[in-house]
Amino acid sequence: EPEVTQTPSHQVTQMGQEVILRCVPISNHLYFYWYRQILGQKVEFLVSFYNNEISEKSEIFDDQFSVERPDGSNFTLKIRSTKLEDSAMYFCASSENIGRYGYTFGSGTRLTVV
Amino acid sequence: AQSVTQLDSHVSVSEGTPVLLRCNYSSSYSPSLFWYVQHPNKGLQLLLKYTSAATLVKGINGFEAEFKKSETSFHLTKPSAHMSDAAEYFCVVTLNTGNQFYFGTGTSLTVIP
């Protein structure tokens, strides 16, 4: 069964450093998403992406965050200057059709900011 | 505004007994509803979805859920629990395009042998 692949599974970074989280969506999918889950809290929406542009973003997704699809296969989330409160599990997802029919999620990247 | 409330943070059942995980939703419009499952160190796997077709939805691994508009509920059930069902379960609501999912806080299911 096709999978969404996220790398790395765990990343530790120092506060103030830039970090890039990488995702390889399912190859024929057109819609891409990032979510995060801070330990003990709900899974929260960050951003959706379609046709090489952001479709929607949440209040969390401020100027410190950016997304990119640099080639035909990768979908990345960049955090420019990490803060302690950015520590969370970050999930990438993709869908073939509009998301109301369901996404396929990756297994997540656990980001720890120290 | 859209939201879901998962009424139980933890549920414990004996192997072979029924499972009931409760979810209530709040939505201004016709929602799509999902249940996702997360096993330890794994991604979020889609169990089943309701997208305005049949109100009784069957999913993978013997799970099903019934959309009840009058009760704003979408409870997840399984007739007989298996040890492999032990995991975290998330109820999710979205609208229209589905660009944004709203997750519940999750229910941790423990299956006792």
Write the pLDDT tens digit of every residue in A9-64.
999 999 999 999 999 999 999 999 999 999 988 999 999 999 999 999 999 999 99
Question: Using one digit for the tens of pLDDT, what is the confidence trace for B47-104?
Answer: 999 987 788 999 999 999 999 999 999 999 999 999 999 999 999 998 877 788 999 9
- Of all residues in chain A, the one with the smallest CA distance to B39 is A107
Of B94, B103, B105, the CB nearest to A99: B94
Contact residues, chain B, for A100 at CB < 8 Å: 32, 51, 94-98
Q: Tell me which amino acid residue A99 is.
A: G
Q: A 19-78 residues with CB below 8 A of B?
A: 31, 33, 35, 41-45, 48, 55-56, 58
Q: According to the model, what pLDDT value does residue A9 have?
A: 93
Q: Where are the beta strands (DSSP E) in chain B?
A: 3-6, 10-14, 19-21, 23-26, 31-38, 44-50, 56-58, 64-68, 73-78, 87-95, 102-103, 107-112
Of B44, B98, B104, the CB nearest to A100: B98
Question: Using one digit for the tens of pLDDT, what is the confidence trace for A51-110?
Answer: 999 999 999 999 999 999 988 789 999 999 999 999 999 999 999 988 778 899 999 999
